[in-house]
Amino acid sequence: MNTTILLPADTYVVINKTILSDQDRKLLISLYQPIIGTLAISLYFSLWSYLDKMELCSSSWTHHHLMSNMGISLNEIAIAREKLEAIGLLKTFVKYDHVNHYVYQLYSPLSAYEFFQNPILSTTLYNNVGELEYEKIVDYFKMPKINLKDYTDITKKLTDVFDSVATDLSSHLGTDIRKRTKRKLELISKIELDTVFSFIPEEILNFRSITKETKELIYRLGFIYDFDNDAVLELIRNSITEKKTIDKQLLRKNARNYYTFERDGKLPSLAYKNQPEYLRKPTGDSSPRAKIIYQFETTSPYDFLCGKNHGKEPSKNEKLVLEYLLIDLGLMPGVVNVLIDFVLRINNNKLTKSFVEAIASQWVRSNVKTVEEAMRLAQKEITGRKKSTIKKEVRTSITKPEWFDQNIQEEKASEEEMSEMKHLLGQW
């Protein structure tokens, strides 16, 4: 994938690949906005507004114009665009030149029924807004129930009203007629479904009954709940009916129950897998420091922690710490990697939750977004710790991090640990 730096002079054209209506505005605000935020929805509405009177396409504009129109930065436009792409509302194409030219294709949101049937979207919405608000949203989109018990259906059929007349329209068949178009959520699953099915005997499950829709549901459940092959195998076994088919509703229920049991009642949400490209250091630097930054930026926090654990899976508590940093605090993945590395180095390889929370809260208030910013802040704290062990009398003149005076399980750094910190400073 090419790393493209968005510039104000870069141009764009908006193409409408679907048919949009006022109902779509309600869907976007009620269902999508709690997941991807107001800026992303505002960008969608802004691109929509640039379409011509027929709502087919727009004129060519610069991103500087879009920045001025929305009152936000290019970085904010980039992250909003990525969210629209990931959630299935936008596709982006670029033609590289001295000034890059972009094409933004708009797609319809899912209908309310399709949205609530999608385990990724519905679960994330539930987690983001809470049970009470979620039920209100569901009620808003429910069809009213009218008792027709005492009524007679007198609706006419086509053949009751019209006769067929032979007419040749083969030369007038339209292939480019506008229609309502939606994008599917695209994901690469770590689940090997063929391997999973190979462990289930044919006497238990009728494999002919497994449709493409069922497979997609399993992949989506596996993604949102972060299941591996073993977890999915157990999930499917517990969702097989007496007719040797997979009960999809039971599959959803079992997946949710299994996850909430493992996560102390918490439901999953969506977070960046690794550092977004627009927040990464530009390529071209081959220094040792740049290589360390690249590793922080391109590794997911889960994989990074696995590496720190010498390939072993993080514990349940460690996973909860990652969820807290990525979802509750909204820290970027690369920043989380730096924080994990920093805490393990200064806290005797212990990922103590209270210690992590104290540091992470300070980083949030400092608005740390990039790996380089996180490394500079961590390096500053390490330098402060080093100085504090050399001259006790000047401690009061050194700016302390907010977690220094808290009652945290941490021992004073030994000479060996200070030597390790010095080595770390040399690495960074």
Mean pLDDT of 123-151: 91
CA angle 407, 417, 367 (to 5 degrees): 60
Q: What percent of the chain has pLDDT over 90?
A: 40
371's torsion region: left (phi>0), alpha (psi -120 to 50) or beta?
alpha
Confidence bin at 96 (pLDDT 50/70/90): very high
Confidence tier at 8 by pLDDT (50, 70, 90):
very high
CA distance 118 to 110: 10
Please tell me the predicted confidence (pLDDT) of residue 406: 47
pLDDT at residue 84, rounded to an integer: 96
Summarised one tens digit per residue, pLDDT across range 262-295 is 766 766 666 667 787 778 887 667 788 888 898 8
Identify the pLDDT of residue 401.
Answer: 46
Read off the pLDDT of residues 172-215 as tens digits, 9 standing for 90 and up: 556 677 787 888 777 777 889 999 999 999 899 998 899 998 99
| Rounded-to-integer distance, Cα 39 and Cα 72, Å | 9
The yes-or-no verdict on residue 410 having pLDDT over 60 is no
* pLDDT tens digit sequence for 207-246: 889 999 899 899 888 887 878 888 899 999 999 999 999 9
Domains and CATH numbers, the chain: 11-109 (1.10.10), 110-142+186-270 (no CATH), 277-427 (no CATH)
pLDDT at 405 over 60: no
Cα–Cα nearest to 29, from 86, 112, 85, 118: 112
Strand 90-95 to 61-62 pairing: unpaired
Between 83 and 53, residue with greater pLDDT: 83
